Amino acid sequence: MPHIRVRGLPFEDLESVSDTLVETLAELTDTPNSHFTLEYQSSIFLAVGGASPAYPFIEILWFDRGAEVKTKVAQAIDDLLRPMIEAGQDITTLFHDIQGRDYYENGEHF
């Protein structure tokens, strides 16, 4: 399980760091890298007046690993993506903590 959704970043940039991203997060969370899924979402950002420049927005769906691990993961993502974006641009990481009672795999509750 952790499932990582990424938008606001060119696909080629995400692809170029995908192995490093998963390996780093696997180490920080003590989770096998085979448990991670990485999803690229193509998106268009809009603001008042029309299209707006995108910024990296990363969502992580997982079972809660505590605030300390979240901070380490968010910092690792920032460190990895920062060289790919314009100076001063934001990188947002949002965590969705999934409760075990809400998780089913292949129709079975875990």
Distance between CA 22 and CA 70 in Å, rounded? 15
* C-alpha closest to that of 90 among 58, 65, 59: 58
The pLDDT profile of the chain, 110 residues, written as one tens digit per residue, is: 899 999 999 999 999 999 999 999 999 999 999 999 999 999 988 888 888 878 999 999 999 999 999 999 999 999 999 999 999 999 999 999 998 888 888 888 87
pLDDT at site 4: 98
Domain coordinates in residue numbering, the chain: 3-109
- What pLDDT sits at residue 48? 85
Whether domain 3-109 has CATH 3.30.429.10: yes
